[in-house]
A and B are shown apart, each in its own frame.
Chain A
Amino acid sequence: MRRYSILILLLLVFSLVFSSVVVAEGNYGGEFTGFSSTDPKSLDPAALGSWDQAVMAANVLEGLARLSPSGQSIEPGIAKSWEVSDDGLVWTFDLREDAYFHNDENITAEDVKYSFERVINPETRSPQAWLFNKVVGYSEMRNGEAAEVSGIRVADDYTLEIELVEPLTPFVSMLASPGAAVVSKTAVEEYGDQFGQNVVSAGPFKLTNWEQNLELEMSAFEDYWAGRPYLDTLKFRFIHDENTRIIELLSGNIDWAWVTPAHHQGLTNNSVYKDSIYRVNTLHVAYFIVNMNEGPFGNNLKLRQAISYALNRESVIDSLQGRANRAIGIFPPGFMGHDQKATAYEYNPEKAKELLAEAGYPDGLPETYTVISLPWANLIKILEIYQQNLRDVGINIELKPVQQGEYMSMIGEGNFDLAYGYRVADYADPDSFVYPLLHSDSIDGGGNVAFYSNDKIDNLIEEGRLETDEQERKNIYEEINNMVQEELPYISTTHNIWVDVMNPDVRNWQPSAMDIHMFHRVWLAE
Chain B
Amino acid sequence: MFNYILKRFLFLIPILIGLSLLIFIFLYLIPGDVARMIAGPSASKEVVDSITNEMGLNRPLPVQYFEFLTNFLTGDFGHSYQSGKAIIDEIPIVFKRTLQLTIIVQIISFIIGGIMGIISAVWRKSIWDRLIMAISVSGLSLPLFWSALVIQLLFSIYLGWLPPSGYRSGFDLYIILPTLTLVLPNSGMLARVTRSAVIDVMNNDYIRTAKSKGLSNFWVITKHIVRNALIPMITMTGTNLSRMMGGVIMIEIIFTWPGMGKYVYDALLAKDFPALQTATMLIASLVIVINLFVDLTYGLIDPRIRYHN
Q: Taking beta carbons and an 8 Å cutoff, which residues of A are in contact with B? A: 38-39, 41-42, 47, 49-50, 122, 125, 127, 129-130, 133, 142, 193-194, 196-197, 211-214, 237-241, 243-244, 247-248, 250-251, 253, 402-409, 412, 426, 436, 444-447
Contact = CB atoms under 8 A, between A and B. Distances in A.
B44 to A, nearest CB: 5
Nearest to B152: A247
Interface in B143-183: 149, 152-153, 156-157, 160, 163-167
B41 interface: yes
A127 B32 contact: no
B48 A445 contact: yes
10 contacts: A47-B84, A247-B156, A402-B31, A406-B30, A409-B31, A409-B33, A445-B43, A445-B45, A446-B42, A447-B42
Nearest to A35: B256
B295 to A, nearest CB: 34
B105 interface: no
B269 to A, nearest CB: 7
B42 A426 contact: yes
A125 B163 CA distance: 41
Given A193-B84, A241-B253, A408-B33, A251 B42 contact: no
Contacts of A39: 258, 266
Contacts of B41: 408, 447
Given A237-B166, A405-B36, A130 B47 contact: yes
A127 B157 contact: no
A196 B84 contact: yes
Contact of A404 (B37, B42, B43, B262): B37
Contact of A241 (B38, B85, B256): B256
A237 B31 CA distance: 31
A405 B48 contact: no
Nearest to A410: B31
Contacts of B42: 127, 130, 426, 436, 446-447
Interface in B248-278: 253-256, 258, 262-263, 265-266, 269, 271
A257 to B, nearest CB: 12
Please give me the 10 A-B residue pairs with the lowest Cβ-Cβ distance, nearest first. Answer: A405-B32, A213-B258, A406-B31, A445-B45, A41-B83, A127-B40, A41-B82, A406-B32, A247-B164, A251-B156
A250 B84 contact: no
B119 interface: no
Contacts of A250: 156-157
A126 to B, nearest CB: 9
B256 A239 contact: yes
A243 B44 contact: no
B165 A247 contact: yes
A452 B47 CA distance: 22
Nearest to B155: A251
Nearest to A424: B41
B32 A408 contact: yes
A125 to B, nearest CB: 6
Given A125-B50, A239-B256, A447-B41, 6 more contacts: A122-B50, A238-B256, A240-B253, A244-B152, A247-B164, A253-B164
B156 A237 contact: no
Contacts of B164: 244, 247-248, 251, 253
A213 B98 CA distance: 13
B149 A248 contact: no
Nearest to A436: B42
B165 A405 contact: no
B82 to A, nearest CB: 4
A122 to B, nearest CB: 6
B1 interface: no
A445 B31 contact: no
B282 interface: no
Contact of B84 (A42, A122, A239, A244): A42
Interface in B80-98: 80, 82-85, 90, 93-94
Contacts of A402: 31
A101 to B, nearest CB: 21
Instruction: Indicate the member of B30, B42, B45, B93 with the most A CB atoms within 10 Å.
Output: B42
Contacts of B93: 212
Interface string B47-64: 110110010000000000
B34 interface: yes
B47 A127 contact: yes
Given A49-B40, A251-B163, A129 B47 contact: yes
Contacts of A253: 163-164, 166
A122 B83 CA distance: 19
A243 B149 CA distance: 9
A212 B153 CA distance: 27
A405 B40 contact: no
B31 A214 contact: no
A405 B84 contact: no
A324 B31 CA distance: 31
Contacts of B85: 193-194, 197
A237 B163 CA distance: 14
B294 interface: no
Contacts of A194: 85
A237 B256 contact: yes
Contact of B90 (A212, A243, A404): A212
B202 to A, nearest CB: 45
A447 B45 CA distance: 10
Nearest to A409: B33
B31 A127 contact: no
A514 to B, nearest CB: 14
B156 A127 contact: no
A515 to B, nearest CB: 15
A122 B48 CA distance: 12
Contact of B54 (A125, A404, A436, A444): A125
A38 B266 contact: yes
Nearest to B156: A251
B210 interface: no
Given A125-B50, A409-B36, A247 B266 contact: no
Contacts of A248: 164-166
A408 B152 CA distance: 37
B281 interface: no
A426 B42 CA distance: 9
A125 B38 CA distance: 10
Contacts of B253: 240-241
B39 interface: yes
Given A127-B40, A405-B33, A405-B34, A244 B165 contact: yes
A404 B94 contact: no
A420 to B, nearest CB: 15
A159 to B, nearest CB: 30
A238 B45 CA distance: 32
Nearest to B37: A405
A482 B32 CA distance: 35
A213 B48 contact: no
Instruction: Indicate the member of A38, A248, A251 with the most B CB atoms within 10 Å.
Output: A251
A243 B253 CA distance: 11
A38 B272 CA distance: 14
Instruction: Indicate the member of B36, B47, B51, B256 with the most A CB atoms within 10 Å.
Output: B256
Contact of B254 (A42, A142, A244): A244
